[in-house]
């Protein structure tokens, strides 16, 4: 009898040891995965004017753990880049008029040295290329013409943005953030490939332009992918209206990297426009795997992107791009 109990006891110990080893392996795999995958938070905000607010924006980035901030209506003149604080935050910006427009992108100190290129078109589009572990990411800050402006001005904006998109290889990530002054609607009927079904309000003609553009270039509107309360969808609010006019767009094949997208309504640097944030994940890369980029250098930017043939948005002329790191 005691022999039978001893055998049972030995078998139980063996099973426990096996379970412990399996748990250890799973913990090691999870630990390695956590080390390799990092969260990146990108913000987009129509700030009204950046004059007198630069340090406050940096404070918001630190407090909200935002790594990259896309700004609209900065109203800073010039096509420059400069450090904003002793914390190492740096802005790339473009603008022509102190009274209107202007866009910029702020990088935190961990990303400043990873920027390899910057492109600017007028005072409504800026793009910064940054190397993040295994990813090459192209971050856009855009400010679309307002509804009351002429159709030629609106068409010029989309053509310029289109020209930059065409220059980016398919293997690189694209994230477009900005105030696009358009309504894409709550459910996106007829645009299910690019609209996640969780938008806000009613679609308008300008919203159809965004959706058509996204269809043409295989993009998805990320802040329609997540079911949220209205307060986390509304990007512009005043006494008489609440609307969704600010968006993040990214390539459809990269949406697996998207973890969340929402409005943070509590920040008060502006009275009407709200802060929109996008959380994405990226993997680290060992030093012997790092791609060798030099500052200001681009790779294969003239390669045609997949799906251009027959597209309504196809562009034949190169955009008037200005570079300045």
CATH number where 277 lies: 3.60.10.10
**pLDDT (tens digit, 9 = 90+) per residue, 44-100?**
999 999 999 999 999 999 999 999 999 999 999 999 999 998 889 999 999 999 999
Average of pLDDT values for 1-17? Answer: 55
Q: Residue 21 falls within a domain, yes or no?
A: no
Q: What is the pLDDT of residue 307?
A: 43
Q: What is the pLDDT of residue 289?
A: 44
Q: Residue 205 falls within a domain, yes or no?
A: yes
Q: Residue 157 falls within a domain, yes or no?
A: yes
Q: Residue 143 falls within a domain, yes or no?
A: yes
Q: Residue 1 falls within a domain, yes or no?
A: no
Q: Residue 152 falls within a domain, yes or no?
A: yes
Q: Are 125 and 90 in contact (CB under 8 A)?
A: no
**Pairing mode, if any, of strands 246-251 and 219-221?**
antiparallel
Order of all β-strands in the sheet with 322-323: 219-221, 246-251, 173-179, 135-143, 125-132, 115-121, 322-323
Q: Which domain holds residue 291?
A: 41-323
Q: Residue 28 falls within a domain, yes or no?
A: no
SS3 state at 228: coil
Report whether pLDDT(36) > 80. no
The number of folded domains in the chain is 1
Residue that the structure tokens 């990146």 belong to: 40
Q: Using the CB atoms, write b or e for 45-76: b if 16+ within 10 Å.
A: bbbbebeebbeebbebbeeeebbbbbbbbbbb
Q: Residue 244 falls within a domain, yes or no?
A: yes
The model's pTM is: 0.80
What is the number of residues in the chain? Answer: 325
Q: What is the pLDDT of residue 189?
A: 85
Q: What is the DSSP letter of 163?
A: H
pLDDT band at 10 (very low <50, low <70, confident <90, very high): low
Residues 6+ apart with CB under 8 A from 193: 215, 220, 252
Q: Are 233 and 224 in contact (CB under 8 A)?
A: no
């Amino acid at each position: 009898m005691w022999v039978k109990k001893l055998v049972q006891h030995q078998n139980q110990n063996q099973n426990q040891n096996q379970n412990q080893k399996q748990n250890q392996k799973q913990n090691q795999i999870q630990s390695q995965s956590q080390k390799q995958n990092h969260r990146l938070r990108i913000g987009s905000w129509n700030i009204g004017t950046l004059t007198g607010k630069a340090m406050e924006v940096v404070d918001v980035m630190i407090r909200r753990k935002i790594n990259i901030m896309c700004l609209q209506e900065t109203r800073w003149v010039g096509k420059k880049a400069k450090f904003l604080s002793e914390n190492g935050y740096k802005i790339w910006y473009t603008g022509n008029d102190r009274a209107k427009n202007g866009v910029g992108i702020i990088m935190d100190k961990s990303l400043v040295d990873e920027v390899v290129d910057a492109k600017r078109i007028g005072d409504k589009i800026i793009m910064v290329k940054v190397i993040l572990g295994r990813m090459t990411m192209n971050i856009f800050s855009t400010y679309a013409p307002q509804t009351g402006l002429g159709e030629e001005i609106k068409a010029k904006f989309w053509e310029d943005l289109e020209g930059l998109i065409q220059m980016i290889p398919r293997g690189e990530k694209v994230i477009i953030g900005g105030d696009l002054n358009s309504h894409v609607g709550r459910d996106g009927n007829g645009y299910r490939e690019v609209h996640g079904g969780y938008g806000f309000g009613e679609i308008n003609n300008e919203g159809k332009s965004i959706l058509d553009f996204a269809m043409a270039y295989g993009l998805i509107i990320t802040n329609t992918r997540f079911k949220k309360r209205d307060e986390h969808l509304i990007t512009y609010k005043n006494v008489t209206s609440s609307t969704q006019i600010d968006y993040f767009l990214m390539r459809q094949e990269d949406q697996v990297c998207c973890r969340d997208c929402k409005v943070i309504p509590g920040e008060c640097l502006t009275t009407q426009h709200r802060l929109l944030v996008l959380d994405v994940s990226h993997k680290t890369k060992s030093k012997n795997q790092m791609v060798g980029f030099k500052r200001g250098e681009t790779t294969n930017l003239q390669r045609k992107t997949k799906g251009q043939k027959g597209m309504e948005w196809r562009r034949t002329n190169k955009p008037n791009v200005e570079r300045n790191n």
